[in-house]
Amino acid sequence: MSTILELRSITKTFPGVKALSNVNLQVGEGEIHALCGENGAGKSTLMKVVSGVHPHGSYEGEILFEGETCAFRDIRASEQRGIVIIHQELALIPYLSIAENIFLGNEHSRRGLISWNETLRHATALLKRVGLTDSPQTRVTDIGVGKQQLVEIAKALSKEVKLLILDEPTAALNDEDSGKLLDLLLEFKAQGISCILISHKLNEIRRVADSVTILRDGQTIETLTVRETPEAAPEVSEDRIIRGMVGRDLDHRFPDRTPYEGEDASEVAMAIEDWTVHHPIDQQRKVVDGVSLNVRRGEIVGIAGLMGAGRTELAMSVFGRTYGRYSGGRVFRDGQEVRTRTVPEAIDHGIAYVTEDRKRYGLNLEDTISRNVSLSSLGKVARRGLVNEHEESRVAERFRKTMNIKAPTVFERVGRLSGGNQQKVVLSKWIFAGPEVLILDEPTRGIDVGAKYEIYTVINDLAAQGKAVVFISSELGELLGMCDRIYTMAAGRLTGEVPRAEANQEVLMRHMTRDRGDEG
């Protein structure tokens, strides 16, 4: 197999930190090459060097593409050579349509005028390839984060690509849609297109990758051959990859659980009855349809469902009606009906919501760890209407230590942290608010196995304190490993409730794919 990309001794330094140190990498033509490492290991930085986001001259080392030394000055220069990167952070303009986003900067035009018929026709074909059924004229702001990731992939496919770099492409997708995307990568491979896949989902790597390079602390640890031929069984175990990533063995993927044994252990902390919400644009369509569920103190209750099932819509509408048009239903806390019409009302009643999109809704990326931790509970660090910055910093420092947030000080800007550490800041913010019920929406999305374990431990500790936890996840293995009960949703309705002892992936998927008419 000939080499399409070779990186030689790539070193990249930011003020005060060496992000990459003499990294070497080779990618073959028509190969799917996985890149693994913990958050902060340097994976995304390395790919930004390759794609010209970090231009030539800002790093040391050499990039060879198709045997020629390259000095990309920007991302457009790398795209002209056939290198296309899909970043982990979505790069879409929310108030433009899907079609406009796909061809932004690469418009179909004739005599200086955009050909909308051609644009929509090509956009429709691309959306079909990635399995997205929405109209190409739909605004990006009106679709969820999972569908936005598919738009990003369609955008990349619209360009003449020789090497496709995907940074956590399935982080926002459920198992079914992730599988479709991985199948698409295998199609690209058959067509001779090379791929670099950055993913924390090791089962995905073992399914499609030919080789995997492991980074740790900005250095190349090793490159492993996952399979000798496409027909061969995977030779590298997930435990083997994890050991290279974290420098040690993880005996268990999920931490041991200490059950809550308080006198109120059997009491229902929160119940939702007949909750119904309509779509914010198409107000004839129900996105949440008559949902009733409950969660007890010290219990972790999962919600599983395919994309569009209504899981996030349910969570957001309960938490201050921040999604859609409410049309019916009641919320109970400790047996008493409460109103959650606004976010402050929900917080006052002891309900917290950790959003699936931490960068957009969960954090102020331009502000410090200290300020982000206190944002939902400013009253706790204020005196006479003024924030006591010393107290705010003291609280943040406590969470920095207890949550193992990797940052030099609490005055570090949150936007500079890795994804796993950003998620710990979000959790710290809501734990500081002192809720009795936490709704966690994809709390480990885009996070490496080491950081996942730490967050699982935090969630278990909260349950052991008697907190009630609602856990929404697209990873069925995660739900099975963490939850006491699992509700399933499809098309906005509950389709099943499965206790832990009876749950497995086949049972959950059967409930998740039930038609609305199958209920009863």
Whether residue 296 is found in the same domain as residue 147: no
Q: Which of 400, 433, 466 is the last residue of a domain?
A: 433
Beta pairing, strands 325-333 & 194-198: unpaired
Look up the CATH number of the domain holding residue 154. 3.40.50.300
Provide the pLDDT for residue 3. Answer: 93
Residue 54 lies in a domain: yes
Whether residue 240 is found in the same domain as residue 307: no
Q: DSSP alpha helices (H): ranges in 15-174?
A: 43-51, 75-80, 98-102, 116-129, 145-157
Q: Which domain holds residue 148?
A: 3-246
Distances from the Cα of 424 to the Cα of 167, 358, 371, angstroms: 21, 10, 14
CB-side neighbour CA atoms (13 Å) of 375:
20
Contact call for residues 489 and 309 (beta carbons, < 8 A): yes
Residue 255 lies in a domain: no
Whether residue 235 is found in the same domain as residue 105: yes
Whether residue 90 is found in the same domain as residue 112: yes
Whether residue 410 is found in the same domain as residue 467: no
Provide the pLDDT for residue 515. Answer: 55
Distance CA 369, CA 425 (A): 7
CB neighbours of 98 closer than 8 A, spacing ≥ 6?
A: 123, 127, 132, 134, 135, 136, 137, 138, 139, 140, 143, 151, 154
Residue 359 lies in a domain: no
Residue 254 lies in a domain: no
Provide the pLDDT for residue 360. Answer: 82
Q: Which string of b and e fits 380-390 if b means at least 16 CB within 10 Å?
A: ebeeeeeeeee
Whether residue 494 is found in the same domain as residue 428: no
Edge to edge, what strands does the sheet with 325-333 contain? 286-296, 268-278, 325-333, 336-338
Contact call for residues 222 and 190 (beta carbons, < 8 A): no
Partner residues linked to 271 by β-bridges? 294, 332
Provide the pLDDT for residue 351. Answer: 96
Whether residue 286 is found in the same domain as residue 236: no
Distance CA 198, CA 306 (A): 23
The domain total for the chain is: 3
Contact call for residues 145 and 362 (beta carbons, < 8 A): no
Residue 413 lies in a domain: yes
Whether residue 279 is found in the same domain as residue 345: yes
Residue 63 lies in a domain: yes
Whether residue 182 is found in the same domain as residue 298: no
117 residue type, one letter: N
Residues in the chain where the model's pLDDT stays below 50: 229-234, 516-520
Whether residue 231 is found in the same domain as residue 308: no
Whether residue 383 is found in the same domain as residue 421: yes
Whether residue 346 is found in the same domain as residue 369: no
Distance CA 487, CA 496 (A): 6
Provide the pLDDT for residue 486. Answer: 97
